[in-house]
Structure formats: C-alpha cells, structure tokens
Structure 1
Amino acid sequence: MDMRQLTTFQKAATLLSFSRAAAELNYAQSSVTGQIKGLENALGIALFERLSGRRIQLTPAGRRLLPYAERLLSLADEARNATAGPREPSGRLLVGTMESIATYRMAPVLEFFHHRWPRLELVLRPGSGAEIVDGVRRGTLDLALLIDAETLHSGLDTTVFGPEALVAVVSPDHELAGRPTVTADRLATVPILAPESGRGYRRLLERELQGRTAPLLESGTVESTKRWTAAGLGVGLLPEVAVADDLAAGVLTPLPWRPPAAVYAQLVRRRNSPAGPETRMFIEKVSEILSGEPSRNIGKERLAA
C-alpha cells in the first residue's frame, strides 16, 4: 500500500468513477484500475463493487478505508511542507459559489491568486446553495461558498465568515417606497420577487411570508431580481452587497423591514478530506475578504463538543 494508490483510491471513492478519477489525476484509466487492484490485493479485500454500465460503489471495507486514506494523505502533505518547506500553490481548485458571492465578493480573491500564485487555477462553478453543497459531498467540487441560514451540513465542515445582511428593496415609485414601517403582513399582500429555489434566503422568505395572498414570482438570478424590482414588478429580497450600487444610484429603495432570522456567508468542504496549501490559503484569503476577522469551523466545533 503506497501513497499513490491511496491518492487514486480517494479520488475514485469520492467521484465513484474510475474514468473521472483518471481524468482528474491525468492518468490512463488502466493505471487507475491497476492501482485500485494493487491496493485491494495488498489489503486482501475488495474496496469497490463493479456495477453494470461501468458504475462503481464502495464496499463496506471501502467505506471504512476512506476516512483513513484522507487522513494519511493530509498527514503526508503536512510532512512534505514541514521537511521541504511550503511549495508554490499549483493545480486546480474547483469552487462552487452562489451568484451574489461570485459577482460581488470574489474579484479581490481572484486578483490576489492570479498575481501571487499564477500556477494555481481557480475555477468558479455557480449554482444554488443546495446544488453546490451536493457537489462538495459528491466530490465534483473541492469547496463551496454560500449564503444560508443553516450552518451545519451533514458530512461537511463549515467555516462561517459572519452574518450576511439582507435587504428588501423596491423601485422608487412602488407603493411601499418611503413608508416609515413595513410589516411582514403588509409584505404578504404585494408581489415578491424571489430567487430560484435552493437559495437559503429564498427558504427564509417562504417561511416568513406563509399564507400570503399575493404571488411569489421566481426571478431566477440576482440580476434579474434587481431588474424586475427596478421595473416595479414587486419587492426583492437580496444580499445588501448585491444592491449597494443600485441603492446609491437611486435605482432601488430599501424598505424598513429585515427578515427575523440571520443568514451567514460560509465555506463548506468534505469532512476529513486532505486540505493542501491551496485549500488553506484560499480559506484564509476568503475569510479576510468576507469578514476581515478569524473564521469559525463549525464542523470541527461540533465534533469537539
């Protein structure tokens, strides 16, 4: 059993595909299957069940081995850094991110890594919170950045950067514009422009405005929500960072109403997965940009409790 075999096993176990593991590791598929077979022979037990249509799944032994493999790979990376000194970050980091974070928060992060560590390729994959969290669980994403009220995600470690302010906005000529107070009951009587399902603040909105009499219009994206709101089609609920320029320009007007529950900017990654220097550096830089203060690792806090 060697580190190369463990690396290949961890990748195949995460992706549940020998061909995708080969593509990500830049190996021939025959090399992947050969390494897996060698590891199985060394351990004397099957780690994968081969299904029809080239599909695979972990056997009970494979599921037991995976967390040990991830810990060994992480320790090996730490040992290399301790003995040879930190290497320049390189390779590819796949980051799932919600639209509001990608559009309004990530430019300084991308600029930093582009100039400081040009050998590291950051790839942003947009999606709803539910989609990108699922991508991290399945191993198609290394990390995910999202805004959600929930900070505990099964099988994942969560780094919380802090609360993310949400604001209800309308066009300047909307019937609610300029009112000194707006209640949830009043909001329930006017059309609400909601982002697509799967976003944390969409679920918040649905819980708060249950029993509404006016329609909930699904606007899809942050930008379409802003445009529809400016056109007078309804009330938009969006992260404050996404509408700051529109508020300053007078295109949109804030309402004196805030959702009763907080949502949090956060980063999630698979629990016990190896955290190389690229991942650690990315988390540090994103924490600096999003909060300006040390972040909290919810998954590890819960495990220690």
Structure 2
Amino acid sequence: MELRLLVTFEKVATVLSFTRAATELSYAQSSVTGQVRALESSLGVELFDRLGSRIRLTDAGARLLPYARQIIELSEEARAAVTEPAEPSGTLTVGTMESLTSYRLPPLLEYFHHRHPKVRIALRTTIGDETRQALRQGTYDVGFLMEERTAHPGLETAVLAVEPLALVAAPGHPLTGRPVTTADLTGRALLATEPGCAYRDLFERELAALEPVEFMEFGTIEATKRAAAAGLGVALLPEVTVAAELAEGSLVRLAWEPPFTLRTQLAWRSGKRLPAHVRLFVEQARQLVSGPG
C-alpha cells in the first residue's frame, strides 16, 4: 500500500466527501477518486459505499482507517525526527471560545509572539461539539474546551484549571445579600449567551428541573454583562469574565453555588503525533493558561 493512497483514503474517510478531500489535499477530484479506487483495487475490497451524492465507509474501510492513521502518524514522526528545525515554526490552528480568548489566552499568545515569531497561531471560535468534531477530523491542531467532563472519545486532554462561575446581577437586585437557592431563581429574568455553551446548558438543566426556562439571549459575554449591569436580569458567567465589574461594583455576585464544576481543558486527537510547535503550545498552555483552581 502506497503512503499517498493511505493519506488520501484517510482524508476522504474523515470528511466523507471526495470533493472536500480534494480541496483540502489540493488535488483534482478525479485524482482523489482515482487514488481511492487504486487502493481498493490493491486490497481487493471496496472501502466506501457510494450512495448518490453521499458516501460512507464499508466495514472493510472502517477496519482499515485506524491502521491508515497509525501508518501516516508513524511516517510523519519519522520525517519530523530528521527534519524538524531547532526553532519551532509552522501554523497552529486552535479552537477556542470568547471567554478564553479574551481572559485566559493573552499571556500565551504574547509568549509566542515574542519568543517564537515563526509559529503562526490561527484562532477559530467554536464551542463544545463543534470543537471536538474539528479536532477528530484534523481541522484543528488543538482546541480549548470548558466542560464538566474531561474524557472525550477520540481525544486526549490536559486539564488546565477549574473554572469558577459567578451568578451576577445589577446592584440592588432583590436576591442580593442573602443565600440563593435554585428555587429562588424560578420566575426571574434570566440572561445568557448562545446555546451550546457548557455553563449555559448546565444552568438551564438545573433550572428546567423545576420549571420550563426561557433566557434572554445576547450572544456574547460582553453583551450579557452589559444587560445584567443594566438591570435586565441575572446571568451565570465564568468568574474571570466578570472580575473587573465585580471589583468596580457595576455587578454584584449573588450567593448561589452552581451544583456542577467546569474545567478548562486543552484537547487534541488521540494517537496524533504532535509536531514540535504544537507540543510547545501544549507545554506553555499548561503553565500560562490557569485559573484560581
């Protein structure tokens, strides 16, 4: 089996599209189709079921895929062992989210800007399922997650910090200055960022156990903070994102303790050999992206 045929097969199997695979590999689509057919011919089996405009792996294709990935990774490792430059360089595509980009990543980005200018960091804002899927498909090199669980199928993770949350409101809110239970929040005006954000979804789950929940959605953390400060309702946000407002008094923290714990994590695809500049990013993230936990 030729390595280039396995590379093409792995890409098609990952994105499940000959057209998209051709684009990502910078091939003509006919070349991708021809290489897959050549691999099928050499093995004497069909690797994909062609279902009109869609494709899916056959049982044989599914069995071949993990071996193809191991061979490709080993080939890349062998090449890197003799060609990696002393100074890390290359493009690093990172999945991240608004709260981390604005409040946790600046020291890490500053470090690379000054110490390793040959490493180009491309930040992509996605959350949850989108980030995990992009990592599994190889679209992202690494991705930041802020989630309750730390085990993710197909991914390796490094837990960087416990991420404290704060329920905030404008000064003078009726719930200020006394213990707050989840029941106290029923019937209150609730503010939130977009669905899919782990702390919003977990907050909604807790409240929905008592009554149906409706949020006023503001999309971004900054807009949600401004709405809370204007007295439009209460919002659950990462503590790091509201620290300045709590200190200056434009927001107050309500005495409600979330019954769940989020952890900021850095993740990458399992079994993937990380190039030198990606390994360096992981190492520095462990040191520089941290919280009070």
Q: TM-score range by the shorter chain?
A: 0.7 to 0.9
Residue 16 (structure 2) pairs with residue 16 (structure 1): yes
CA apart distance, 1:238:
0.5
Pairs aligned (count) = 291
SS in structure 2 of the partner of residue 193 of structure 1: strand
- The letter for the 1-side match of 2:284 is K
Q: Give deviations 1:121-176, integer Å, cap 9, x for gaps.
A: 32222233233223334444343212111222233333322311111111123223
Alignment of 1:1-305 (within 5 A): 1-53=1-53, 55-86=54-85, 88-177=87-176, 179-209=177-207, 210-212=209-211, 215-291=214-290
Aligned equivalents of 2:213, 2:36: Cα separation in 1: 57
SS in structure 2 of the partner of residue 176 of structure 1: coil
Range that drifts further, 38-47 or 8-17: 38-47
Aligned equivalents of 2:116, 2:37: Cα separation in 1: 37
Aligned equivalents of 2:72, 2:21: Cα separation in 1: 16
Aligned equivalents of 2:194, 2:269: Cα separation in 1: 25
Contact residue 74 and residue 276 of structure 1 kept, 8 A: no
- The letter for the 2-side match of 1:291 is S
CA apart distance, 1:232:
0.6
Aligned equivalents of 2:68, 2:87: Cα separation in 1: 24
1:33/1:237 CA distance change after superposition, 3 Å: same
Aligned equivalents of 2:38, 2:119: Cα separation in 1: 31
1:73/1:86 CA distance change after superposition, 3 Å: farther
CA apart distance, 1:186:
1.9
CA apart distance, 1:101:
1.3
Structure 2 stretches lacking a partner, 5+ long: none
- The letter for the 2-side match of 1:183 is T
1:85/1:142 CA distance change after superposition, 3 Å: closer
TM-score, structure 1 as length reference? 0.83
CA apart distance, 1:280:
2.3
SS in structure 2 of the partner of residue 167 of structure 1: strand
TM-score, structure 2 as length reference? 0.86
CA apart distance, 1:195:
2.3
Identity %: 49
Compute the RMSD of aligned alpha carbons: 2.7
Structure 1 runs (4+) greater than 6 angstroms displaced: none
1:275/1:85 CA distance change after superposition, 3 Å: closer
